[in-house]
Structure 1
């Protein structure tokens, strides 16, 4: 495991200028009072190089697009007009794989034929009631909406509902990174940790994520953290060629009995309870991760996520 620091955190020059224009202060910050309420400011940190997919794309095609682009979510838009029709996330894929109600599609519509199911349209598992924002909205609108609707990413559209950008928790984590927030990790970390043993089957891990509403599970052996399994890791398993070989040669159940220790990354970055949120945010950005296990006196005390950092900015 690696205890990381923010010394080498890389922030693009243009984006750093945007962040510094909001927070020109070296002391602890009151982020709530500094988040812009200016109409249209949402576009200053949103990603306008947004990738959309049509509702007719296959589920496996959407998974491979997310993996190829490194995204956890994709807006689903009409191929001709680019009007927003839905959104699909890594958690939706985990749900479909066996974690929750979306798996009923495999059982009921495809009679348990998983190979046929993954080639079905993404519209079958996408979220149709999409939370969206307008290009004229402010950063405060975006922050408040994320918290109120408990979503990690929101498509930004014009008045005709055409997708123009997407804003995510990571964009707000960027705003706080490298700045002394005056708030510690222990104040905002999630203390209700749900862990998994390394021999837990992938199917069970998927169910645990959906049941508990988490995107990640710390993997623990004899009270020692050996890795983290995320929704994206499970999605990567679905997108690999190995799963299709298993589908042809074995049963669906055999696939989901694969233990999660075959998926976890051995390198784990972590932080301490007294770490400033600004430093924790920098570690997440530098390592391109969405969470950090939190240790105190060699004991796992919690986990700090992008969602927790976003929540801190409203208080």
Structure 2
């Protein structure tokens, strides 16, 4: 595990956990609570947004300070929505995908120079949006079919009015009772990584498989969980720059992912109801919980899984 080669191999490791063997087929009978009001009733209205000329580093620092996974990018004068930047865009930029070309090609690997580029160079343009008269059902449909965690809300002219997130929707849906348990809705075929796996490998795996998080497993024991937001915060802390010698991005992304894992690890169990686990995630402000059974990792339950389950998806 301490050799880079072995760690890299385990960076894209797939665990197919069986957990309990007597689960049987699950019939999703839960249905979304009808909400006749507008999406604005649950949305954040006082939205922090960025001008497209803001630097990547300034955007990362803003998201890190506020604890946000995403920020809309707007025209400075009119507040018309131009795009959105997410923690996924940041890890893509750091080496996960095509946006890494900005660092590798335009700046020859110099991260210090690349983070001073304008946010428009890595933002997601023309993001999926909702109109202000949309129903909660409309938000659920987009979240579950497109796997989008946050939806800017705009008026007929494209002016930003607010933002509704997966968590906002879950807070409403979780008020309805469901007969389902964690084992019914969790993901049991998990990609995991190892503590000594380089950050660069983790970012590539996240972008390739469209994951926001990866369990970190050492000798089949859960070591922690690393998220796209953790990686973004690592860059936003600026501590990385004080330790850099050459300024090359590999000085940051070559470090083992264990450096990003800190704080208390929260887990859950297969037999808990999805109402219980939803309330726990909302209270702790976390997006996922590893599922442990007989001291083994058997699955992962996320906000997305819960929104889909409560809505009958």
TM-score w.r.t. the length of structure 1 is 0.86
Q: Paired residue for 2:153, among 152, 156, 177?
A: 156
Q: Paired residue for 2:110, among 109, 113, 131?
A: 113
Q: Could you tell me which residue of structure 2 aligns to residue 34 of structure 1?
A: 33
Aligned length, in residue pairs: 285
Structure 2: unaligned runs, 5 residues or longer: 1-27
**Per-residue deviation, 1:148:** 2.2
C-alpha RMSD of the superposition: 1.7
**Per-residue deviation, 1:31:** 5.1
Q: Are the counterparts in 1 of residues 112 and 247 from structure 2 also a CA contact under 8 Å? A: no
1:69 aligns with 2:76: no
| Shift >3 Å, 4+ stretches | 176-180, 246-251
TM-score w.r.t. the length of structure 2 is 0.87
SS state at 1:164 partner: strand
1:307 aligns with 2:304: yes
List aligned pairs for 1:11-26, cutoff 5 A: none
SS state at 2:268 partner: strand
SS state at 1:141 partner: helix
1:254 aligns with 2:251: yes
Hey, what's the Cα distance between the residues in 2 that align with 1:177 and 1:110? 47
Q: Could you tell me which residue of structure 2 aligns to residue 83 of structure 1?
A: 80
Q: Could you tell me which residue of structure 2 aligns to residue 20 of structure 1?
A: none
Structure 1: unaligned runs, 5 residues or longer: 1-28
Gap change, CA 1:182 and 1:236, over 3 Å in 2: same
Q: Could you tell me which residue of structure 2 aligns to residue 47 of structure 1?
A: 44
1:283 aligns with 2:280: yes
**Per-residue deviation, 1:250:** 5.3
- 1:211-248 C-alpha deviation (Å, 9 max, x unpaired): 12111111111111121111111001111222212344
List aligned pairs for 1:2-13, cutoff 5 A: none
Q: Paired residue for 1:220, among 217, 220, 229?
A: 217
Q: Are the counterparts in 2 of residues 49 and 165 from structure 1 also a CA contact under 8 Å? A: yes
- 1:150-177 C-alpha deviation (Å, 9 max, x unpaired): 2010000111111111001101221244
Q: Could you tell me which residue of structure 1 aligns to residue 295 of structure 2?
A: 298
Q: Are the counterparts in 2 of residues 82 and 162 from structure 1 also a CA contact under 8 Å? A: yes
